[in-house]
Amino acid sequence: MLRQALLHMSKSDRVRHLVETAPVSRGVVHRFVPGADVDDAVHASSDLIGSGRLVTIDHLGEDTFDLAHARGVRDAYITLIGHLAEAGLTQDGRAEVSVKLSAVGQALEGDGEKISLEHAWDICQAAQQSGTTVTLDMEDHTTTDSTLSVLRDLRADFPWVGAVLQAYLRRTEADCRDLSGAGSRVRLCKGAYKEPESVAFAGRDQVDRSYVRCTKVLMNGEGYPMLATHDPRLVDIGGALAVQAGRAQGSYEFQMLYGIRPDEQQRLADQGEKMRVYVPYGDDWYGYFMRRLAERPANTVFFLRALATKG
Ligand SMILES: Cc1cc2nc3c(=O)[nH]c(=O)nc-3n(C[C@H](O)[C@H](O)[C@H](O)COP(=O)(O)OP(=O)(O)OC[C@H]3O[C@@H](n4cnc5c(N)ncnc54)[C@H](O)[C@@H]3O)c2cc1C
């Protein structure tokens, strides 16, 4: 219930204003978002890479309904990639970027999908020139077909473009099969949006079981699975399934979000696993932040209490 309410609030302008202007927000948000500027993202990435982890960086923002803004987001990514390359962080994909197609124009009326493809193509070209990769984040289920279609088009020129599949969607096991071919980079996550039961599993157990089935498909395929979860059970099962499938460390990776279970991130990296941290930066943190609260009741209680007393 709380999760559904928070995900609903993540789309509310009134709550957005309240949360964005509350003095307490800055401190709590900082746990999940290292800063607003490109330099903040580069510094955080440099520290993580120095500790043996890898990063994927997200320029925060989604649901762009204005062409000029969509172009601005594309330019921000190209600038980010330039800064990462200058700092020597892009070699071998140590720092790559994650892109939401809705931020680069997918939601624009008329030609939205085509515009997002063009903008994503420009970002991929910049990434390729700097020796790194791009992963397309997955948003709510109404965008899945469009995002997979853009992915197919991008992969014609940039076969290394990563996909994200969400285990909570009933369709995902089949999508995993489709995307488990040679060289296919696929991030598997549980899924972070408010979805109807007609398309998504509602119970935690059902989602977890789907996650395991999807992991099996990806590990037994020929692609490059990227297991994005903080769930200790699913991390253990992922590692065991990799061994069962005869995969060596480095032929798959684990991924976690910035600020979440950092000790576990380091433990996995120290064990020789590839561990990539998703680093978001920018001003437009509201939607991302609310989804993180929805995942973790303890954070929500802390945040709401602080909001009630200080806001
Ligand atoms: C790298 C990455 C990229 C992602 N990209 C996308 C995307 O493109 N699209 C999308 O829809 N979603 C994305 N997500 C979010 C994802 O879908 C989930 O909403 C999110 O990861 C929470 O699910 P979980 O697997 O971590 O498990 P949860 O069910 O949230 O947690 C399971 C268990 O993990 C442990 N745990 C979780 N959080 C904490 C914490 N803060 N401290 C200590 N233990 C904790 C607890 O034991 C908990 O019981 C991404 C997640 C990651 C890690």
Give distance in angstroms: CA of 265 to centre of ligand 1. Answer: 13
Quote the tokens at residue 182.
């040679």
205 in active site: no
Write the CB contacts of 150 (distance below 8 Å, at least 6 apart in sequence): 101, 106, 113, 116, 117, 120, 136
187 in active site: yes
Torsion over CA of 181, 175, 104 and 161, rounded to 10 degrees?
-10
Q: Note the pLDDT of residue 24.
A: 64
Angle ∠(202,207,210) on CA atoms, nearest 5: 135
- Mutational pocket test of ligand 1: of 137, 168, 190, 257, the residue with most ligand atoms within 8 Å of the beta carbon: 190
C-beta separation of 206 from 244 below 8 A: no
Write the CB contacts of 38 (distance below 8 Å, at least 6 apart in sequence): 76, 79, 80, 83, 281
Q: What is the CA radius of gyration of the chain?
A: 18
Tens digits of residue pLDDT in 218-241: 999 999 999 999 999 999 999 999
- Mutational pocket test of ligand 1: of 134, 141, 231, the residue with most ligand atoms within 8 Å of the beta carbon: 231
pTM, to two decimals = 0.94
Helix (H) or strand (E) holding 206: helix 204-220
Write the CB contacts of 154 (distance below 8 Å, at least 6 apart in sequence): 117, 120, 121, 124, 134, 136, 161
Ligand 1 and 272: CB distance under 6 A: no
- Using the Cα atoms of residue 211, residue 253, residue 158 and residue 33 in order, give the sign of their dihedral: positive
Counting as low any pLDDT under 70, the low residues of the chain are 23-24, 302, 305-311
Tens digits of residue pLDDT in 290-311: 888 888 877 777 677 666 665 4
